[in-house]
A = this chain, B = another copy of it.
Amino acid sequence: MSKGKKKPSLAVVGATGAVGTVMLSILSERKDVWGEIRLIASARSAGKKLVCRGEELTVVALSPEAFDGIDVAMFDVPDEISAKWAPIAVSRGAIVVDNSGAFRMDPKVPLVVPEVNPKAAKKRPKGIISNPNCTTMSMIVAMGALHKKFELKELVVASYQAASGTGQPGIDGLRDQISKIAGSNAGEATSDVRKFIKDTSPFPAPLALNVIPWAGSLSEAGYTSEELKVRNESRKILGMPKLKVSATCVRVPVLTTHSLAVHATFKNVVTRKAAQRILEKAAGVILLDDPENKKFPTPNDVVGTDPTWVGRVRQSLDDKKSIDLFLCGDNLRKGAALNTAQIGELLAVELTK
């Protein structure tokens, strides 16, 4: 592993995928902390040429040797690929930052959001750091800032999740449904779109002109895997294993950017102004909360941006220690590639000390 002044080397595993593509543009936009950047993908994509930091790079096939000389490896691949290959990368000397679900709840793997728990990245007995699920990420930067000041007790969350949370098939499926509906009389009297679309999307019901209370797979006690990720990952990132969290995850006909309605209860009184002051100053958060002028975030305003946008901050009328708010975050940027890049930057600083 290179120490001292030399810039560390980076591998991007899954460089040709949806998140990998966003990662290459994020690496090109941000402060350049990396020496060599090596692009790794499946054998099928090997030899492909991609541009990063203005340079053309040739994709190499995933193999143990592909990690030789690499200091940090960012994985944007399915769970089973990460589960197999992250330990191999570690055995070749790399620190892995993994964006899959394979290691997130492993007690020996830290789950890191640099604005919330950067120190957790330092203790990584397996040489692996996990990146949270995009729905948890949509709220955790803002909730972490409020927690530091007011001490969280409970979160009740309802999500408005974008189609791209299921990757490119979700985006294609929604766009396809919308073209079909626009060319038909669907919803003339009702919103009965079923008869107009033969659905090939990854969703369990039509998504155009509809909402679907389902994301992920069936898990414990009727909750979906996505709903339990919101609970379990929030607890781990905040270091609060007993935090009460209830989530209902709902897919909405938006292409990219997840939104959440959050009802948060704290140990201390939280006025609207006090919450707004914390959110205004919080790193990675933009407060857009001017209801007099109908200013609040919507996915359409937020898509393509890095921060978590927060609006509609209200102190509950029935509990001075509770607030309601609405927030939006781009699920492909901070929700995936950006946070991975930020964790990588923490490691780059550590490695060049």
Per-position contact with B for A198-232: 1 when CB-CB < 8 Å, else 0?
00000011101111111000101111100000010
Q: Closest Cβ of chain B: how far from A221's Cβ, in Å?
A: 6
- Interchain CA distance A213-B190 in the complex, whole Å: 23
Instruction: Answer whether residue A83 sits at the interface, using C-beta atoms and an 8 A cutoff.
Output: no
Given contacts A222-B313, A312-B222, contact A210 B300 (CB under 8 A): yes
Q: Closest Cβ of chain B: how far from A240's Cβ, in Å?
A: 12
Residues of chain B with a CB closer than 8 A to A162's CB = 191
Per-position contact with B for A268-303: 1 when CB-CB < 8 Å, else 0?
000010000000000000000101101011111101
Q: Check if A190 sits within 8 Å of B256, measured CB to CB.
A: yes
Q: Closest Cβ of chain B: how far from A261's Cβ, in Å?
A: 4
Residues of chain B with a CB closer than 8 A to A208's CB = 178
Instruction: Answer whether residue A103 sits at the interface, using C-beta atoms and an 8 A cutoff.
Output: no
Closest to A323 in B: B246
Q: Check if B244 sits within 8 Å of A318, measured CB to CB.
A: yes
Residues of chain B with a CB closer than 8 A to A252's CB = 160, 211, 252-253
Q: Check if A303 sits within 8 Å of B211, measured CB to CB.
A: no
Instruction: Answer whether residue A82 sits at the interface, using C-beta atoms and an 8 A cutoff.
Output: no
- Interchain CA distance A303-B190 in the complex, whole Å: 6
Closest to A224 in B: B291
Residues of chain B with a CB closer than 8 A to A212's CB = 298
Residues of chain B with a CB closer than 8 A to A325's CB = 248
Instruction: Answer whether residue A158 sits at the interface, using C-beta atoms and an 8 A cutoff.
Output: yes
Residues of chain B with a CB closer than 8 A to A209's CB = 178, 253-255, 299-300
Given contacts A192-B303, A298-B210, contact A250 B326 (CB under 8 A): yes
Residues of chain B with a CB closer than 8 A to A160's CB = 160, 211, 250, 252
Closest to A213 in B: B326
Instruction: Answer whether residue A169 sits at the interface, using C-beta atoms and an 8 A cutoff.
Output: no
Given contacts A158-B158, A181-B178, A182-B178, contact A317 B211 (CB under 8 A): no
Q: Closest Cβ of chain B: how far from A168's Cβ, in Å?
A: 12
Residues of chain B with a CB closer than 8 A to A298's CB = 205-206, 210-213
Residues of chain B with a CB closer than 8 A to A136's CB = none
11 further A-B pairs in the complex, CB-CB below 8 A; given A209-B300, A221-B314: A160-B250, A175-B187, A178-B209, A192-B300, A194-B300, A212-B298, A213-B298, A214-B296, A222-B313, A222-B314, A250-B326
